[in-house]
Amino acid sequence: MDLLTEGQVRLVVGILYYLWLARNSALWERSLPRPASTVKRAVLTEEAFTKLGRVTYHPHAAVMPETEPHGLRCYFDAGYRQHTGEATYGVVLLNHEGVFMAATAGTLPGAFSPIMAEALACKEALSWLKGRDIQRIDLLTDCMELRSMIISRDTGTQSYVGVIADQCRTTMSLFNYCSLHYISRAVNMHAHTLASLAFDQDHPMYWDVIPPDSITMFVH
């Protein structure tokens, strides 16, 4: 261990952790993840931690509107691979105290750019929230460009992204209360991590009450 760098130590710990999860999956669920998938999850988790850097994660760091101090918070993020055009989404729902309530993650079809992936992730999050019959929500994204596009009064429907943004605005109007806020990536690491790991998923994943192991360090 003394010969390894800090990053290598984190990677070793991550590999051991995901090996343990794979073993549990094989034993209790009769499903054995592929070795490459297990290693990839460890690598992505270490990369996400590295991007976070030495910033301490504070679930309450997002600046929330004073008019809605007790509302639910929905964090979302998109993943995008430029060389393949693959896109994913990660969505995390917390209560006003930052306690985990639910989450979902999966792949997105037809994304031609990172901003389009972000717009599709927003649309997916809104659809998921409506399906849960949530009427009052604060949406949080680390994409300033998307937030500016959606809250702009200019419909901007002359592009694929503009059409999706317009659809998001329409869906937001169906809630009793729905606002969209910008937050830093450091505050959005739970949604970012789910989106990063979703590239290896064949189907959408859903979690209720108990968060997935990959984001337990970011929620409580």
Supply the pLDDT for residue 66.
45
- For the chain, domain boundaries: 6-52, 72-218
pTM flag (> 0.95): no
Would the pLDDT of 157 be above 60? no
Would the pLDDT of 63 be above 50? no
103: β partners: 92, 207
* More confident position, 43 or 64: 43
Structure tokens at 108: 């997105």
Would the pLDDT of 103 be above 90? yes
Supply the pLDDT for residue 51.
60
State how far the Cα of 142 lies from the Cα of 192, in Å rounded to an integer.
9
State how far the Cα of 63 lies from the Cα of 41, in Å rounded to an integer.
31
Q: What percent of the chain has pLDDT over 70?
A: 85
The order of strands in the sheet holding 177-182 is: 177-182, 136-141, 72-81, 86-94, 100-108, 205-208
Would the pLDDT of 59 be above 50? no
If you average pLDDT over every residue of the chain, what do you get? 84
Q: pLDDT tier at 57 (50, 70, 90 boundaries)? A: very low
Supply the pLDDT for residue 82.
87
Supply the pLDDT for residue 52.
53
* More confident position, 3 or 171: 171
Q: pLDDT tier at 195 (50, 70, 90 boundaries)? A: very high
| Domain 72-218 in this protein, CATH class | alpha beta
Q: pLDDT tier at 65 (50, 70, 90 boundaries)? A: very low
Would the pLDDT of 64 be above 50? no
* More confident position, 5 or 137: 137
CA distances, 219 to each of 51, 65, 68, 128, 139 (Å): 18, 21, 21, 20, 17
